[in-house]
Structure 1
């Protein structure tokens, strides 16, 4: 059995919007006990998050034996210009040097051995989202129309005890529902080429039963996850074959991020 989770890190900000340094990140994750964790909105060398190499810091805090960070944006996200995608997709692991300059993207961490890693670009939509953020010129908070960022998925083919295995896919889909649905349909096709059973974990930006129906999988956790302090909707999901039995599914608030941690224990060898 393995425990799988997903967390939107929000660049390592706490409930008050303050960025956490590496020791504070480790302290915030001290109570997280999962075998595989998908993490979204991860910063590398970003001034807004103390220039911390967050994938490396999270891997150490989680006790991961292997991990990959997939950059979706090169440079610092700026409301004055469109996102500059990392192309081709950058897939960095514990044995790779940190890429030059700041990056932003998703990561997948594992405490169990990984046979093979894979990455798939999902593209970006044309929609823009109104968000409140500091003005980089004045530091004052104001509303911006942020462009949709490029989206990506990372897959880890796991080697489980006793010879069993499964694949966990981590992703963060578009905030525009029509684009997220199209990306999820692409993931469903990709999942057919991956060793099963396949579990999808991430911030899918789609609510309730919708992502499970589109991906063709069971909804292993059913609990609101956003916003973290008073969750009303479930954007964060772990999806898997209906044949899998879910044990101890939960969504709980951590001292960081604006989404709740969603986690569940499954027995992939039975899928």
Structure 2
């Protein structure tokens, strides 16, 4: 099976504008991946044309099973108000704009699991215009709560996640995820924007990177933040890193095989 990860960045292109549903579908048309982890996913957000992005991506991939975990209600923006959520809430119970992560599968999912990850204490410096004066200034953007979604498949569990932008917090969250994943049916593969460059994710978990190569920023990558990580018992072949017309990270995919499931 082929596993992938993509930081969708709310469907934004290089111009900073989020894609319409039709453009989102067109950008991902022909993508051959059996399980895809998505990060920075919008649902009913005005900035992204109120598209239910997990549903739209599932449709174009032919994913028969998927799960969206909303970590925020409202818009995650320095100038907007948002509220942290329990990511285990069912998507059908959510009303209004939401934001989070998603995991989509073409393969039958036996059971879903969701883990909430506490936001880190650090803030991200961001230079942007002041909405009151128009003058550019430095803002400090707080970290947001994070989540991991696990799909138990036949012979393997795939976990999708998006970790903190601060490396110490991301490492702490990854250790928490690793302990949680140890209780899930193995072998376990983690896919997502881990915000840990190079081999750090493997060092934190003792796992093995199935794809190596720079993934961020998409136009001219300097570092690998996006990983497909084996926590034991899974091997990878035919890795690919590809730039898409949307998202600020490059798409990462790899063919995954385990003792009980051929590639």
TM-score after normalising by structure 2: 0.93
In structure 1, distance between residues paired with 2:77 and 2:232? 41
Deviation at 1:213, TM superposition (A): 1.7
Aligned partner of 1:220 among 210, 217, 233? 210
The question of 1:12 aligning with 2:2 is answered no
Q: Which residue of the partner structure matches residue 58 of structure 1?
A: 57
Q: Which residue of the partner structure matches residue 103 of structure 1?
A: 98
**Aligned pairs for 1:86-125 within 5 A:** 86-87=85-86, 89-92=88-91, 97=92, 99-125=94-120
Relative distance call for 1:89 and 1:83 in structure 2 (3 A) is: farther
In structure 1, distance between residues paired with 2:49 and 2:135? 19
Equivalent position SS for 1:267? strand
Deviation at 1:247, TM superposition (A): 1.0
Q: Which residue of the partner structure matches residue 32 of structure 1?
A: 31
* RMSD, aligned CA: 2.0
Deviates more, 1:189-198 or 1:131-140: 131-140
Q: Which residue of the partner structure matches residue 239 of structure 2?
A: 249
Q: In structure 1, list runs of 5 or more residues that go unmatched.
A: 160-164
Deviation at 1:140, TM superposition (A): 8.0
The question of 1:144 aligning with 2:139 is answered yes
Relative distance call for 1:264 and 1:139 in structure 2 (3 A) is: farther
In structure 1, distance between residues paired with 2:85 and 2:135? 29
| Contact preservation (8 Å) 1:91, 1:119 | no
Q: In structure 2, list runs of 5 or more residues that go unmatched.
A: none
Q: Which residue of the partner structure matches residue 183 of structure 1?
A: 173
Equivalent position SS for 1:183? helix
Q: Which residue of the partner structure matches residue 184 of structure 2?
A: 194
| Contact preservation (8 Å) 1:11, 1:49 | yes
Relative distance call for 1:135 and 1:35 in structure 2 (3 A) is: farther
Equivalent position SS for 2:252? strand
Relative distance call for 1:234 and 1:75 in structure 2 (3 A) is: same
Deviation at 1:134, TM superposition (A): 6.2
Equivalent position SS for 1:109? strand
Equivalent position SS for 1:246? strand
Relative distance call for 1:153 and 1:60 in structure 2 (3 A) is: same
Deviation at 1:90, TM superposition (A): 2.1
Count of aligned pairs between the two proteins:
261
In structure 1, distance between residues paired with 2:210 and 2:20? 33
Deviation at 1:131, TM superposition (A): 2.7
Relative distance call for 1:98 and 1:269 in structure 2 (3 A) is: farther
Deviation at 1:145, TM superposition (A): 1.6
TM-score after normalising by structure 1: 0.90
In structure 2, distance between residues paired with 1:142 and 1:107? 33
In structure 2, distance between residues paired with 1:136 and 1:68? 35
In structure 2, distance between residues paired with 1:249 and 1:88? 30
Deviates more, 1:139-148 or 1:113-122: 139-148
Deviation at 1:214, TM superposition (A): 1.0
Q: Which stretches of structure 1, 4 residues or more, deviate above 6 A after TM superposition?
A: 138-141
